[in-house]
């Protein structure tokens, strides 16, 4: 895995949703560490208890920040789904190519602390972008710009590009069912 710290500090996705998309990409990169932490252990990719805890914390933090808590929970559910996509993809790759499997296991406690920091930052960006996210066409244009430039700048592989799409599925939704971008 390349050094994301240097690139994340200097390269940001473009557009009004660039900062939000950058945080989503950073969260996806942390999923690599989650996978490395769990690979070859009894720790399952699916952790419904932990997921419920995270979503409840998101709901509470969103309410405290004056955000639509239902929309925030939906967006974070997409984040969790995307993370599991990355983990499954990496597990499959490492199983097929054991020589490329991680040789060390990152501390899941430290990873969760980083995810908590990203949750707080993502909620702040959701608040900052709320007016734009409630305009489906403008939001979709800005999100596409941010996703395309972020994926290119970060050199995301196919697995991470697909996960980015999953992670941002609900960003432009107002909490009501709407047609999402294709």
pTM attached to this predicted model:
0.87
Contact (CB, 8 A) for 55 and 76: yes
Percentage with pLDDT > 90 across the chain: 85
Look at residue 96 and tell me whether its pLDDT is greater than 60. Answer: yes
Digit-coded pLDDT (tens) for 132-164? 999 999 999 999 999 999 999 999 999 999 999
As given in the structure block, the two tokens for residue 74 are 């939906």
Work out the number of other CB atoms within 10 angstroms of the CB of residue 73. Answer: 19
Q: Give ∠ CA 112-113-118 in degrees, rounded to 5.
A: 90
Buried b (16+ CB within 10 A) or exposed e, 33-54: bbbbbbbeeeeebeeeeebeeb
Give the Cα separation of 137 and 181 in Å (integer).
9
As given in the structure block, the two tokens for residue 126 are 């959701």
Per-residue confidence band for 173, with pLDDT thresholds at 50, 70 and 90: confident
The whole-number average pLDDT for the span 45-62 is 95
Of 85, 75, 83, 92, whose CA–CA distance to 31 is shortest? Answer: 83
Please spell the DSSP secondary structure of 145-172, one letter per residue.
HHHHHHHHHTT--HHHHHHHHHHTTTTT
Per-residue confidence band for 178, with pLDDT thresholds at 50, 70 and 90: very low
Per-residue confidence band for 11, with pLDDT thresholds at 50, 70 and 90: low
Of 83, 60, 82, 64, whose CA–CA distance to 73 is shortest? Answer: 60
Per-residue confidence band for 182, with pLDDT thresholds at 50, 70 and 90: very low
């Amino acid at each position: 895995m390349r050094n994301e710290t240097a690139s994340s500090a200097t390269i940001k996705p473009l557009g009004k949703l660039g900062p939000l998309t950058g945080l989503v990409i950073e969260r996806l990169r942390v999923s690599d560490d989650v996978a490395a932490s769990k690979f070859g252990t009894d720790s399952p990719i699916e952790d419904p208890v932990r997921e419920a805890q995270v979503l409840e914390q998101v709901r509470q933090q969103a309410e405290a920040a004056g955000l639509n808590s239902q929309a925030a929970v939906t967006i974070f559910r997409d984040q969790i789904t995307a993370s599991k996509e990355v983990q499954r993809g990496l597990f499959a790759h490492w199983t097929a190519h054991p020589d490329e499997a991680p040789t060390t296991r990152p501390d899941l406690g430290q990873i969760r602390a980083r995810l908590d920091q990203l949750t707080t930052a993502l909620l702040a960006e959701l608040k900052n972008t709320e007016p734009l996210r409630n305009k489906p066409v403008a939001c979709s244009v800005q999100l596409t710009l941010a996703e395309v430039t972020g994926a290119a700048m970060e050199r995301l592989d196919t697995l991470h590009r697909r996960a980015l799409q999953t992670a941002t599925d609900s960003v432009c939704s107002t909490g009501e069912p709407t047609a999402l971008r294709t």
